[in-house]
Chains A and B, each alone.
Chain A
């Protein structure tokens, strides 16, 4: 490497509460390079980048050296650092809504970023540059007058990128820039970020927990664990031949949207930020650890000749390179599940042409208009006994509200049949009994459990509601905990005493304890670290294979769908647009919306095609006007297919709502033209 753009040496970050988040990191970046930084939560990624850009919270201390194009940043005072932030190093945050000043128009925010570093610049020059920047990140000029809350999530992040590259920084740091976004939008934002980086000729430090994102966009990857960089290599090398057991575990824990496979959960949990010890931090969890590993910490090393180098911090890296230790010796992948498609049983849940319109509760005027109508507009769905059906779609497509409202309110239009009973026509007591045969596993592990209840009380609550007596209740709670792989002693613990993975398992146990006919899983692994998610996905697959679990999985994560579901229903703007068996849907998506979703999914394999943005950008505004709907396909404005249609065909999309019609024996599609036009690219 010539002069590195970024040269981090022996960097330590300690927080005021004593947490030692970064423990001696060395990291170099060449000019114009994209370095991916991956690791699970608590690995120290955010602390590291906050330290690099000088934005650590009060009371945190930074030691070591950070050189940006030769300039030492550690020890600079606030004013000098502030002058460097912008032209030297700029940052893109995870959640632009919390970063952008809600009281200023986004155009003026971008202008402010320019003026801060050049006070002599004329108003005209600023405006010209702001226009340029908005064009570059793909924002229409009209959005300059908008406030952050008026823009949709992807558009906000584009503003964040515009601010970051306003002063043409040498180094761009993006901390989980797309974690809050849907896949289709994620691809677009990443593309914008890449274009912006190239325009400014900046290096990009891309922090992500998503190995798929890193595989698609990074030139090199650094893996962090417990405050250390444990492996660092060119992206293709790292994915093809990892040299550190933790990396191996991580790669084998990630579900792949291209095919269902056995996942390997990394056992145990990472050490806390206060942990200290002489040895390798991963040793307690490492299947191939030797006595030496616990006594002496391996340095990041390896073949220094090959440039860029492939470095790993493991005493047994040489064995892995030499082939005396194989990847399967470290983390063996289980035998593939040979699973026949289940013989479809009786329908447990049938939803026919469900429409729900309801008013948003008063008082949410921050997010949108009061009384705004949110509509679920034609949902068809059948779940049969013994199968897992996935309902996928972007956030805001109406997935969760559909599922919950199904059982709460009697729909205005359409029918919901549970175990053959029409919910609208059953009496109250029957409906209550029917509802007990459905259990919900709510999203977000910390959220799903009442912090004031023991695990026993939480898991037993559905039984208590069904008036099951105490000894019987305790017996069944213990059985349910065993089913999800938890030790019965967990029953007396409170949620704060459990790890994220354990909490999620408790939530599943609660849902299973009444032996329900149907379990609704809302984003079952959202927010979980890769290795923990792998364990949960394997557990659910085991339950499916051994106990014939009937479930409706609501998710935006297509890799989860591929891993678990037998059939998939794709939802967009309140409608189910395509429904098919999982394998068929993934190999030959019919609806343009499905195609766009699949094209945008990041794949944890750098040799695969990079995800593409097939869909046109999302609407700019957070709340699209919801006037009286004229009959039309509401996807048309974003539809890649629509753009290529002849005007008379387009006319049909504009005037007729496509109905969900059977295309083949087991597939239904709601699109006028999916058969006739072959999408290009």
Chain B
């Protein structure tokens, strides 16, 4: 579409380029209220995770001998646990750990999906069949089962390995989505023309496929952060994720779970922080995906 000012006579020989304003996925994202709410909330949480500790005088391991298992108060905003540690500081430590695990896991999972999906979709033939058979195989057993199975081996490995394992077990669905998208891109004129001109597979993936799936991949990383936070929390709750001495939201929930009925703040405070954090990333991811969907168009 042109703006009215572009409607002017031009001679048939020289067609000038009216450069049009706006368009594209990012412009829609910028105009989207939900994206802003999600991004703002997420920025707030990250900021809080970083500077929150200086707001209170204690650190996470400090034991307040005057307050064992106290409910939230002006002195201890989130209350204290049985041995008098400040839950506010503990939640912050846990939040940081949870976020770091998720921020490692999600991009790795998306990257894996982007490589496998794009190669399978573009190469077709037996490469495609073999890769997708592998993906299907991994989807047959719920990743939670595989995580449990791997847990003894993870016991001594620490959280970075945990993050990588979460990534390794959660990339498959996205790989299928990337493959499907790649296959439709493969039939698009510009990919056909590039391959026709003799561009090798890697060239097409890097220069045509990934740039065109950029918003999908970004959205997936965002959604993946939320999913990884949930996975980590669930694993840690059952004692097979982050382990002492490390603290994450999951370990706090595991500690607070048995007391949930009697001293609810021990469970509710970390749970609330977790839900708000995941909500923030999902709001953002969802908005990105919506912007992408309207951008893809039909036919």
| Interface, chain A (partner B; CB < 8 A) | 265, 267-273, 275-277, 284-285, 287, 361-362, 404, 407-408, 432, 435-436, 438-444, 447-453, 458, 461-462, 465, 485-487, 489-490, 493-494, 496-499, 501-502, 505, 507, 510, 535, 538
CA distance A265 to B195 in the complex (A): 33
CA distance A558 to B104 in the complex (A): 58
Chain A contacts for B1, CB-based, 8 A: 272-273
CA distance A361 to B3 in the complex (A): 44
Most buried by A among B3, B12, B14, B208: B12
Q: Is B55 an interface residue (CB 8 A)?
A: no
Chain A contacts for B194, CB-based, 8 A: 461
CB within 8 Å of A: which of B1-44?
A: 1-4, 6-20, 23-24
Question: What distance in Å separates the Cβ of A406 from its nearest Cβ neighbour in chain B?
Answer: 10
Q: Is B196 an interface residue (CB 8 A)?
A: yes
29 contacts between A and B (CB under 8 A): A268-B7, A268-B9, A268-B10, A269-B6, A284-B9, A285-B7, A435-B198, A436-B198, A438-B196, A440-B197, A441-B193, A443-B189, A450-B190, A450-B207, A450-B212, A452-B214, A453-B190, A485-B12, A485-B13, A487-B16, A496-B23, A497-B17, A497-B19, A497-B20, A502-B15, A505-B15, A507-B189, A507-B193, A538-B12
In the complex with contacts A272-B4, A448-B190, A487-B17, A267-B196 CB distance below 8 A = no
Chain A contacts for B19, CB-based, 8 A: 493, 497
Chain A contacts for B198, CB-based, 8 A: 432, 435-436, 465
Chain B contacts for A510, CB-based, 8 A: 193
Question: What distance in Å separates the Cβ of B209 from its nearest Cβ neighbour in chain A?
Answer: 10
Q: Is B56 an interface residue (CB 8 A)?
A: no
Q: Is B264 an interface residue (CB 8 A)?
A: no
A485–B196 contact, CB under 8 A?
Answer: no
Chain B contacts for A285, CB-based, 8 A: 7, 9
CA distance A63 to B1 in the complex (A): 25
A404–B192 contact, CB under 8 A?
Answer: yes
Question: What distance in Å separates the Cβ of B7 from its nearest Cβ neighbour in chain A?
Answer: 4
Question: What distance in Å separates the Cβ of A359 from its nearest Cβ neighbour in chain B?
Answer: 10
Question: What distance in Å separates the Cβ of A275 from its nearest Cβ neighbour in chain B?
Answer: 5
> Besides A432-B198, A497-B18, 20 other CB < 8 A contacts?
A267-B9, A272-B3, A273-B1, A404-B196, A407-B196, A436-B197, A436-B198, A441-B193, A442-B192, A450-B191, A452-B212, A453-B211, A458-B190, A461-B207, A462-B197, A486-B14, A489-B17, A497-B19, A505-B15, A538-B12
CB within 8 Å of A: which of B43-99?
A: none
Residue of A at shortest CB range from B191?
A: A450
A275–B4 contact, CB under 8 A?
Answer: yes
Residue of B at shortest CB range from A361?
A: B124
Set B10, B17, B195, B211: member contacting A498, Cβ < 8 A? B17
Chain A contacts for B124, CB-based, 8 A: 361
Chain B contacts for A489, CB-based, 8 A: 16-17
Most buried by A among B17, B20, B194, B211: B17
Q: Is B275 an interface residue (CB 8 A)?
A: no
Question: What distance in Å separates the Cβ of B218 from its nearest Cβ neighbour in chain A?
Answer: 13
Residue of B at shortest CB range from A263?
A: B12
Q: Is B188 an interface residue (CB 8 A)?
A: yes
Question: What distance in Å separates the Cβ of A338 from its nearest Cβ neighbour in chain B?
Answer: 20
A449–B190 contact, CB under 8 A?
Answer: yes
Chain B contacts for A485, CB-based, 8 A: 12-15
A496–B24 contact, CB under 8 A?
Answer: yes
**What mask results when residues 124 to 142 of chain B are scored 1 for a CB within 8 Å of chain A, else 0?**
1000010000000000000
Chain A contacts for B17, CB-based, 8 A: 486-487, 489-490, 493, 497-498, 502
CA distance A441 to B194 in the complex (A): 10
Question: What distance in Å separates the Cβ of B217 from its nearest Cβ neighbour in chain A?
Answer: 13
A440–B193 contact, CB under 8 A?
Answer: yes
Question: What distance in Å separates the Cβ of A518 from its nearest Cβ neighbour in chain B?
Answer: 12
Chain B contacts for A273, CB-based, 8 A: 1
In the complex with contacts A275-B4, A496-B20, A499-B2, A448-B211 CB distance below 8 A = no
Chain B contacts for A271, CB-based, 8 A: 2, 4, 7
Residue of B at shortest CB range from A499?
A: B2
Chain B contacts for A440, CB-based, 8 A: 192-193, 196-197
Set A275, A284, A451: member contacting B8, Cβ < 8 A? A284
B20–A487 contact, CB under 8 A?
Answer: no
Q: Is B199 an interface residue (CB 8 A)?
A: yes
Chain A contacts for B7, CB-based, 8 A: 268-271, 275, 284-285
CA distance A4 to B180 in the complex (A): 52
Question: What distance in Å separates the Cβ of A498 from its nearest Cβ neighbour in chain B?
Answer: 7
Set A438, A448, A449, A465: member contacting B199, Cβ < 8 A? A465
CA distance A451 to B3 in the complex (A): 20
Set A267, A272, A435, A436: member contacting B11, Cβ < 8 A? A267
Top 6 closest pairs, chain A to chain B, by CB: A442-B189, A448-B189, A490-B17, A447-B189, A452-B211, A450-B190
CA distance A451 to B129 in the complex (A): 29
Residue of A at shortest CB range from B187?
A: A447
CB within 8 Å of A: which of B177-232?
A: 188-199, 203, 207-208, 211-212, 214
A444–B18 contact, CB under 8 A?
Answer: no
Residue of B at shortest CB range from A448?
A: B189
CA distance A408 to B9 in the complex (A): 43
Set A497, A501, A507: member contacting B15, Cβ < 8 A? A501
Question: What distance in Å separates the Cβ of B205 from its nearest Cβ neighbour in chain A?
Answer: 13
Question: What distance in Å separates the Cβ of B212 from its nearest Cβ neighbour in chain A?
Answer: 6
Chain B contacts for A442, CB-based, 8 A: 189-190, 192-193
Residue of A at shortest CB range from B8?
A: A284
CA distance A452 to B212 in the complex (A): 6
CA distance A485 to B12 in the complex (A): 8
Residue of A at shortest CB range from B4?
A: A275
B12–A268 contact, CB under 8 A?
Answer: no
Residue of A at shortest CB range from B16?
A: A487
Most buried by A among B15, B20, B188, B194: B15
Chain A contacts for B16, CB-based, 8 A: 487, 489-490
Residue of A at shortest CB range from B211?
A: A452
CA distance A505 to B16 in the complex (A): 12
CA distance A287 to B9 in the complex (A): 8
Set B9, B23, B188, B214: member contacting A447, Cβ < 8 A? B188
Chain A contacts for B203, CB-based, 8 A: 465
Question: What distance in Å separates the Cβ of A495 from its nearest Cβ neighbour in chain B?
Answer: 9
Question: What distance in Å separates the Cβ of B130 from its nearest Cβ neighbour in chain A?
Answer: 12
Question: What distance in Å separates the Cβ of B118 from its nearest Cβ neighbour in chain A?
Answer: 14
A487–B15 contact, CB under 8 A?
Answer: yes
In the complex with contacts A267-B10, A271-B7, A442-B189, A465-B197 CB distance below 8 A = yes
CB within 8 Å of A: which of B97-137?
A: 124, 129
Question: What distance in Å separates the Cβ of B139 from its nearest Cβ neighbour in chain A?
Answer: 16
Chain A contacts for B24, CB-based, 8 A: 451, 494, 496
Question: What distance in Å separates the Cβ of A351 from its nearest Cβ neighbour in chain B?
Answer: 16
B18–A499 contact, CB under 8 A?
Answer: yes
Residue of B at shortest CB range from A489?
A: B17
CA distance A448 to B191 in the complex (A): 8
CA distance A408 to B211 in the complex (A): 25
